Structure 1
Amino acid sequence: MNKHASGVAVSISDHDLIAGSTALFAPTGPVPFNAASPPIFQTSLFTFESYSAIEDVFAGRSQDFIYSRGNNPTVAEFEGLIAALEGAEAARGFSSGTGAITAAVLAFVEKGDRIVAVRNVYNDVYCLFGKLLRKFGVTVDYVDAADPAQVAAVLPGAKLLYLENPTSMVFEVQDIAALASLARRYGVVTMIDNSWATPLFQKPLLHGVDLVIHAASKYLGGHSDTVAGVVAGSKDHIARINRTTYPYLGAKLSPFEAWLLLRGMRTLPLRMAQHMKNGLVLAERLGNHPAIARVRHPAFSDHPGKASLRGFSGLFAFDVAEDIDVPRFVNALKHVRLGVSWGGPETLIVPAQAALQLPDESNSFRRFGVVDRTIRFAVGLEDPDLVWQDLAGALAAS
């Protein structure tokens, strides 16, 4: 973002958000007792009326439920909803976003394979690649995915292209359609973390990406009370995950968490519209404040990859000026809270200066040059004037 950027054009209206998300309000199958809210099937197992009934399930002739570690009606309702929103054929829920990422990646790589990944990847993914996968001889090339030529140079021979749009902490954008086209040319499977944009603001499958991953704990749940993940894609790709990794990693989504997600997602269009409005207001004000050196917000990027985004969530970052004491600034905040994660109604910050204290082998921030004056900012649903008063006061006190 330019220091004094202004006049951001947003191409999506509240009406567009709601009208384009009718799947959020229509159940994917019959609802017992015509319940207005999807019920919870809080059971570990399902019984059968006869030998032939259970034999049909084991033989694959019936799709009846067996055991909630494998399938559950409430979880299936959530999976169907995500698939509908992403334009996917199928989806699989997990107990966390990291569980979803791990199962998806492990389903498509083997010993000796190579992954190409966007730089500034989510830190836990960086640890997954650098610690766990390294034990099995899987190597990773990190690239500036904003430069398709750099990606094309390392794609030949790779098995997987792993993307985020925008990227973690610094919010760089990529042309995901161009990257997906390159990957298809070389027979490389593409995965993208779409947690930042949600299916309302970005639909990667429409741009040629193979698999979409969400940390459903964030905007999909929307209330800071759920930890979950989900992967969406073609029937064949999801079947491969179901067959090779999902049954054995134990990262199953519980019925109660799925119910919380279904509840939260019914307000997703309204919440995302407000997150976007609040975020843009505060990004503008921060960009014009003398104590802020830079605002890292995809809305102000000139990269053509921004075209895949139909809107902007409330998560971005800003760099404070050199004369601002970061710990003093953080401690001076009264309303904005200090905490990881994002996507809930409260406004949160994470200072990179603290995150840079992670051990070297676990630190993607240090590996990719995140500066210690960067503050990740998750704008909530509060009155932006209240948040701004808090920020301005803390900056003045620092």
Structure 2
Amino acid sequence: MNKKADLAWQYSTVTHDPVDVRHHGAINVPIYQTSLFAFETYDEFRQAAQHPQQAHVYSRGSNPTVSYLEEKLAALEGAEAAKCFASGMAAISAAILSAVRTGDHIVCVSQAYGPTRLFVTQYLQRFGIDATLVDGGSPDAIRAALRPETKLLYLESPTSMLFQLQDLAACAALARSRGIVTIADNSWATPVFQRPLELGIDLVVHSVTKYISGQSDSVAGVVIGSKPLVDRIAEDEYMLLGGIMTAHTAAQITRSLRTLPLRMERHERSALAAAAHLAGQPYVAKINHPALPSHPQHALGLRQMNGSSGLFSFESAESPEKMRDWANRLNYFKIGVSWGGFESLVTVNPAMAGCAPEARSLIRLHIGLENVDDLTQDMDQAWAGVKDVQP
């Protein structure tokens, strides 16, 4: 499927619904702001209570507003089922817990989201579960880290600081040959530009807070995959740990979902323009963006992704203090964590392992939906001010 046809399919999936007579033809699915659902007869109640994920009994189990969103997200990823959670980390931890037991071993990419790394390397140790962090860009390193007791391979492609890719199809094939479950964080690309399940991955997780929500007003997560795997999570980790998504949050995200393909096209186009502008700036030593030919895994990105999003980073030989002065002088970029909303964002960090030898700073940019010419001019004026006070 080419990119144009794929986007057309995405648009159709998120925008076209039949008239739902259950909701009197309401164009938006109503917010079922209720904790419980009542029944006319005790027999109906008893039958529903036997299947709390399929029948609406109590909103900690299932809720019609949330179920509608889950159906849409599963369709976007080409999956059988999805389960929404109260945060991205709630979804990630539930998915991981569903795959491991005491005595098991996890292999996780070393550039994965920080709380994910802490969860597998520190928190799970108290339950006798071991983890190894590996260079996700090296298939040999991944293979060498596997043990007989390895039960989970956790991936995040691209990662969200240096934007390293993993070969998802190769990782999935390797894991399947050894009976290992694979989980991939797909928050950066979204289902619009990458669908790991089609490459053989078992479970996909998203921080729905990011692009899927797209408004910086909701915190949420989702686990997506086959019905048996998602049902097991729904019955155990979801029901027992209680990290549920509320009906109000689901309605907010459903509203945003209809514009997801449109927004991702704009984020992609603007970020590539911003990256091209930065490539010629004296304070930029290296740009980390998998859609650029300069990225060492560009060919892999073309093979397993159908586009790119608005988040990337660049490395600088300038000090973090000087680059923070630059960030302070930006007018259109907000200083803050997260990404995926309308607004452009910037964070400045010391260079980390994996950066170029000359790099002293790592600057992450989220290119929002503002006019990209305004953003590039803003970066120029900010640097001009820094040079005036720090020649």
Shared topology, TM-score over 0.5?
A: yes
The alignment of Structure 1 onto Structure 2 pairs a total of residues equal to: 376
Residue of 347, 367, 382 corresponding to 2:370: 382
Q: Decide whether the 8 Å contact of 1:21 with 1:85 is kept in 2.
A: no
- CA drift of 1:330 comes to 1.6
In the alignment, the residues of structure 2 paired with residue 242 and residue 64 of structure 1 have an alpha-carbon distance, to the nearest angstrom, of 13
In the alignment, the residues of structure 2 paired with residue 110 and residue 16 of structure 1 have an alpha-carbon distance, to the nearest angstrom, of 39
Q: Match for 1:344: what amino acid?
A: G
In the alignment, the residues of structure 1 paired with residue 250 and residue 291 of structure 2 have an alpha-carbon distance, to the nearest angstrom, of 32
Q: Decide whether the 8 Å contact of 1:169 with 1:316 is kept in 2.
A: yes
Q: Match for 1:55: what amino acid?
A: R
Q: Decide whether the 8 Å contact of 2:344 with 2:367 is kept in 1.
A: yes
Alignment-derived partner of residue 84 in structure 2:
93
In the alignment, the residues of structure 1 paired with residue 277 and residue 308 of structure 2 have an alpha-carbon distance, to the nearest angstrom, of 17
Residue of 108, 115, 122 corresponding to 2:106: 115
Residue of 307, 329, 334 corresponding to 1:332: 329
Alignment-derived partner of residue 154 in structure 1:
145
Distance 1:251-1:317 versus aligned 2 partners, 3 A rule: same
Deviations 1:258-305 (A, max 9, x none): 001100010011100000000000011111111111110011224243
In the alignment, the residues of structure 2 paired with residue 246 and residue 329 of structure 1 have an alpha-carbon distance, to the nearest angstrom, of 44
Please tell me the root mean square deviation across aligned C-alpha atoms, in Å: 2.0
Q: Decide whether the 8 Å contact of 2:317 with 2:360 is kept in 1.
A: no
Deviations 1:209-229 (A, max 9, x none): 000000001100111111000
Structure 1 vs Structure 2: percent identity of aligned residues?
Answer: 42
- CA drift of 1:328 comes to 1.0
Deviations 1:146-204 (A, max 9, x none): 21111111223211000011012100112110111111111110000000000010000
Give structure 1 stretches of 5+ with no counterpart.
1-10, 357-364
Q: Decide whether the 8 Å contact of 2:66 with 2:250 is kept in 1.
A: yes
Distance 1:42-1:323 versus aligned 2 partners, 3 A rule: closer
Q: Match for 2:91: what amino acid?
A: A
In the alignment, the residues of structure 2 paired with residue 346 and residue 87 of structure 1 have an alpha-carbon distance, to the nearest angstrom, of 29
Higher relative contact order (CA 8 A, sep 6+): 1
Residue of 285, 301, 305 corresponding to 2:300: 305
- CA drift of 1:27 comes to 3.8
In the alignment, the residues of structure 2 paired with residue 230 and residue 166 of structure 1 have an alpha-carbon distance, to the nearest angstrom, of 18
Alignment-derived partner of residue 39 in structure 1:
30
Alignment-derived partner of residue 317 in structure 1:
313
- CA drift of 1:50 comes to 0.8
Distance 1:172-1:383 versus aligned 2 partners, 3 A rule: same
Point out the more displaced range, 15-24 or 222-231: 15-24
Q: Decide whether the 8 Å contact of 2:196 with 2:204 is kept in 1.
A: yes
| Residue 18 (structure 1) aligned with residue 8 (structure 2) | yes
SS for the counterpart of 2:230 is helix
Alignment-derived partner of residue 393 in structure 1:
381
Matches within 5 A, 1:21-170: 21-27=11-17, 30=20, 32-60=23-51, 63-157=54-148, 158-170=150-162
SS for the counterpart of 1:298 is coil
Q: Decide whether the 8 Å contact of 2:154 with 2:182 is kept in 1.
A: yes
Alignment-derived partner of residue 277 in structure 2:
285
- CA drift of 1:61 comes to 10
Distance 1:28-1:126 versus aligned 2 partners, 3 A rule: farther
- CA drift of 1:19 comes to 3.7
Distance 1:62-1:213 versus aligned 2 partners, 3 A rule: closer
In the alignment, the residues of structure 1 paired with residue 18 and residue 165 of structure 2 have an alpha-carbon distance, to the nearest angstrom, of 33
- CA drift of 1:343 comes to 0.4
- CA drift of 1:384 comes to 0.5
Give structure 2 stretches of 5+ with no counterpart.
387-391
Alignment-derived partner of residue 389 in structure 2:
none
Deviations 1:116-142 (A, max 9, x none): 011111011112123311211211111
Deviations 1:227-265 (A, max 9, x none): 000000001111121222111111100001000110001
Distance 1:344-1:159 versus aligned 2 partners, 3 A rule: same
